[in-house]
Structure 1
Amino acid sequence: MTKTLKHLPRRRFLQAGAAAFAAPALLKSTRAYAATPTLRIGHVSPRTGPLAGFAEADDYVLKGIEQAFAAGLENNGKSWNVEIISKDSQSNPNRAAEVAADLILGEEVDIIVAASTPDTVNPVADQAEVNEVPCITTDCPWQPYFFGRNGVPGEGFQSTYHFFWGLEDVIYSFLELWDASGANSVVGGLFPNDADGNAWGHPELGLPKPLGISGYDLIDPGRYQPLSDDFSNYISAFKEAGCEIVTGNMIPPDFATFWAQAAQQGFRPKVVTIGKALLFPSFIESLGDRGDGLTSEVWWTPNHPFSSSLNGASARQLAEGYTAETGRPWTQPIGFKHALFEVAADVIRRAEDLEDPEAIVAAIAATQMSTIVGKVDWSDGPMNNVTKTPLAAGQWQKTGDTFNLEVVASYGIQGIEQTADLKLLS
């Protein structure tokens, strides 16, 4: 079957279009003649919608990155300007794919980066893969990134690379937290019918199998639709089974609905450990006293022993800079958004030919560096195109009017110290 132009990768389409329609004198890239050529980075993030908490610090991070890039980056003895073009996915996978396609085909970016759950990361990476554009992503467990994109172990992807932790790290962290809690071993599961929920609840690749091996009984009533307004069936199932622990992966509005209905229906678990929804201080504060004692994964804190390869700032300096500039408490995605551009800068400096996407991809694959979130090294990962960063578990503990995210389980990760003991929900 003959491929239509719609299905041609961007690089091939542009080459074919130039050959067919351009005059010979115009075939060469105009930037080849510029005194200081410009490399374009596309950035996709959920600025609005239910995932907007992941992008709360984008303006602050991008401002710092643009300052770090202001003098240009050197590649093979030549200085390159770097332009960042940022687009809002609106927390919608279809919109994420749309803006990624616009960045690739309209803006003709040289590299595309994205973060913030599979709803953003996967459609952006898929657009980059089909158009053969170098892509770096983060802020999504590697299983929904890899298997959610139909990745084949041993083969992986051509143009797209990812760094973050995996569900195995969540499980280790959560088990250490629960083992220390004294709660019974019956766990209620809340998994949405989306890429994250289907990965977390997968019988083989998600939480059920390792929890069973560790002696926990997972009560999983099935997938719920995101933005559900009724969790009564789940609450009834958890109460009937005697669940003292609740876990899962939810967006903030869904957890708020569940947690309010749990109170109304007299369901009082001792430990609630939810991924995604409980990451952000603004959301915890919105829950009032019922936010006190909730637990979640911890990707990054001001106490993490890492620093930026761009400006030398420590994790604490980056976090405190955000608070000083905005008046808001630090959030975990700050570190990973910054690290995305650390990796991009490192790749730009090392690529053999910044005019060649394959050379940029080769530089990404060869990355071995320290960032503000830890080591990024794609020669050392659980799967092709994936490398991991450390993970701990934490609890929101209220002191006076302030909520603090304390590390309560780190299962021996070097340099990441426990900062408080776990307390049960009252």
Structure 2
Amino acid sequence: MRSLLTGAALGIVLGGSAVGFSALAWPQEKPADSRMVTYQQLELFAEILARARQDYVVEIDEKAAMESAINGMLTSLDPHSGYLNPDDFRSMQVQTSGEYGGLGIEVTMEDGFVKVISPMDGTPAARAGIQPGDLITAINGKPIIGQTLNDAVKEMRGEKGTDILITILRAGEDPFDVTLTREVIEQKSVTWKMEKNDVGYLRISSFNERTTLLLEEGIEGISKATGGRPKGLIIDLRNNGGGLLDQAVSVSDMFLSGGEVVSTQGRRASDVERYNARTGEVFKGVPIVVLINGGSASASEIVAGALKDRGRATILGTTSFGKGSVQTVIPLGADRGAIRLTTARYYTPSGRSIQALGIDPDIEITNTRLTEEELAKIKRWSEADLPHALANEDGETRHEMKMPDEQPPEDYKGEDFQLERAVQMLKEGTVTASAFQRAG
């Protein structure tokens, strides 16, 4: 059992610390008349099932129909809850290990289509140019409309080396087809390199079971390359769709010395858990820039929010996705699968929920140049846009899209403007640790 911090994934379903339930019972605080209404609805469901079994034009698959009904109930609560049949549950357990078969995209469901939250580095989806916000409308020429997310994900899975044709709908463009070759995804969630002027660069693409271990290796490599102290550090969380809660906490812990990283609160006021950093931090006093964008979701937002609120890093890029909820995977017993249920919201150290809002950058910079016309064509996509998404409990709404404060010049010929600006700011001392460091 693990707490999930992401949407459904084609090749990645993620978790963290968990609360377990051995049985589901009627909540004791519910009044009797409310229970009676529920019993009546269950009787109605049984009658409808009996009618379908008896009168439908062909014999129905009752097991599949029941699974769809269960999943429909859960997905009506919010876009991240759902039912995992035994096969899906076993697949999820493999996926969190960081090695699995698939295309390498994290997805959710929107308006009957599969929506890409983020492609994963070095995977078929990333190499094919799949982008956050893309809608997958058909698989091998067959429209997705009418399928559940689990059904669509199953159809996209297959044997290594086999091809799949997906139809993409991208904002401002006509639909187009992309052929991908399935492969086993051996995701290395952390990579590192040295940029100019002794600036270290850490790319964290997801939060799986090996992320903290790989981060430690990256930090050791940067330390050796710089004699123990880089001039600055860049942590790249762009298009990081989330991951394990415990990994988000341990990654944040590396760069903090004590104090709160994140807190979670469930349905009841007493259901509060606080996660704190240990004393000691790597590269103390070294200025840090964290890169985020609209594909940075959930666990990556925990890290960005912790380092921002604690004054340890400057956040550069564009507003993140805005998924501020925690899902718990609850096994249902032998050969019954599990449910993925939203059980808590999480809060940054300042006590702020980013649900449906996202993390706003300290320095807003886009990676591509936009005109007013192009900006108007871009379909806004975020957690707030997902069907049945939880609202922000403080009543706040996500900022409307606007022309960014800074974007690449018209004659820009580089490959990564946001990264180049982060390196430049660290080199020039525009971003300093002392300007943002606060006591934990």
Common fold by TM > 0.5? no
TM-score, L = length of structure 2? 0.29
TM-score, L = length of structure 1? 0.30
Higher helix residue share: 1
